[in-house]
Structure 1
């Protein structure tokens, strides 16, 4: 067992306790494997494929530490895909289309019926917009994790740029659209994870959504959420626990 995996295992029990409480293709760059995972006789079925979505101005490099943790935790390399947006600071509406393409490619590459999605920061807003699109395949996404996503906007967007920054401004038309209806469609399990040491999500409560299970992990930075033992333990526990145990709390 690697040192990193050992550290993750040490906090896994605490994570479990926390969770128990309460048609045009765009040129998005998607890091995908060449072949789907194989199932060997007598072995457990492979874990549900995971798509990793970056935040504002980020890309493949920022997601690589998180991808490495999934591989060390037992996910097949064919079952973990990372996405890089064509315009990292662009509109979440366009990013949602790129997520749709990446999700379809991951399902096709693995042969999986459903996938999970872990989105960091602004990427979670694009994910939510994708999930509410009428052309989103029903039942294609099983569980979603939002890592420090500014669901109600963030004042730090005032010093950012691009359409994405404008959409993160508190009270923007884009955010008002997301607030109309359920946070995620019925049948999709959701989790928000945040840190008290986050200087990007202001106010910090914006990273939580009423009615969605929320876990605060002390104390990585905003970017550090992608490579933190405690955070990954929470994410892994959420994605691997039986469906009945993962039922979200009532709104």
Structure 2
């Protein structure tokens, strides 16, 4: 499945005139209910257990799923199912607490998780998928902590790469992590300045109806050095994009067409 060419997001007022907008909000409400129902299933550490190896590097390379702010590993049930159905044998989910640590600290913890995953599986490199804040942790890990030596494919889903206006309303005594997601914050400026070309393949899924990432185009990776592929998922919200079968298929496609998969196939 070829990844589509990025498309512009229409102004919010224009979106309100479309029937599809309201259907999208209805799907978002249903997705919220599904995530709430499954939330208790995501407590605790997911561990490092893998399925039975296939003996094929493109199928056995580890995939790490990183949830967003206030969520937990339970939110990945659709993506996880699609990855396993596609024959990937080493799919892992990781939990973290954004209320006790800021972005750089969490990114260090992500790096530690990747190291443990590599040690447990015997692979030197991994694929990582991050939803919302998870995608920002992934960027910091790759750009600031040498994660480009470990990550083959970096996929973000509804991640505020240029920040989100909602974070500007977080009070000074609130979550430091949330404050770091404000447009123009030192962290956002650092990510933009520190971006450099690498062998990592970047893919960003974004939506035109994401209430939590404002403006919605902030979920695109526009930094030229990263050479990212941006994929518009029309009429999806911040959670419904996470539960989208189209996004799950796109994640599978991006991983199956990663450099390691192409090398094995050649």
Is residue 148–residue 198 contact of structure 2 (8 Å, CA) maintained in 1? no
Q: By how many angstroms is 1:72 displaced? A: 2.1
Q: Please name the residue that 1:24 is paired with.
A: none
Aligned length: 220
Q: Does 1:146 align with 2:132?
A: no
Q: Please name the residue that 1:9 is paired with.
A: none
CA-based RMSD: 2.8
CA offsets 1:21-65 (integer angstroms, 9 cap, x no match): 9xxxxxxx641343564235xx78524211111111111222233
Q: Please name the residue that 1:102 is paired with.
A: 113
Q: By how many angstroms is 1:205 displaced? A: 1.1
Decide whether aligned partners of structure 1 residues 237 and 200 sit closer, same or farther in structure 2, where only a CA change above 3 A counts. same
Q: Please name the residue that 1:8 is paired with.
A: none
- In the TM superposition, structure 1's runs of 4+ consecutive aligned residues that sit over 6 Å from their partners are none
- Output the CA distance in 1 between the equivalents of 2:135 and 2:154: 9
Is residue 132–residue 185 contact of structure 1 (8 Å, CA) maintained in 2? no
Ranges in structure 1 where 5+ consecutive residues have no aligned partner = 1-12, 22-28, 247-251
1:46 to 43, 59, 68: 59
TM-score after normalising by structure 1: 0.77
- Output the CA distance in 1 between the equivalents of 2:113 and 2:244: 25
Q: Does 1:119 align with 2:121?
A: no
Larger deviation, residues 229-238 vs 136-145: 136-145
Query: Which has the larger helix fraction?
Result: 2
Q: Please name the residue that 1:175 is paired with.
A: 188
Decide whether aligned partners of structure 1 residues 245 and 164 sit closer, same or farther in structure 2, where only a CA change above 3 A counts. same
TM-score after normalising by structure 2: 0.73
- 1:126-205 aligned at under 5 Å gives the runs 126-134=137-145, 136=146, 139-160=149-170, 161-182=174-195, 185-205=197-217
Is residue 39–residue 45 contact of structure 1 (8 Å, CA) maintained in 2? no
- Output the CA distance in 1 between the equivalents of 2:219 and 2:232: 10
Ranges in structure 2 where 5+ consecutive residues have no aligned partner = 8-43
2:104 to 86, 93, 104: 93
Q: Please name the residue that 2:238 is paired with.
A: 222
CA offsets 1:132-159 (integer angstroms, 9 cap, x no match): 234x365211110011110111012135
Q: Please name the residue that 2:47 is paired with.
A: 32
- Output the CA distance in 1 between the equivalents of 2:203 and 2:115: 22
CA offsets 1:203-229 (integer angstroms, 9 cap, x no match): 011111223210101232211222211
Is residue 19–residue 234 contact of structure 1 (8 Å, CA) maintained in 2? no
Q: Secondary structure in 2 aligned to 1:108?
A: helix
Is residue 63–residue 128 contact of structure 2 (8 Å, CA) maintained in 1? yes
Q: Please name the residue that 1:67 is paired with.
A: 80
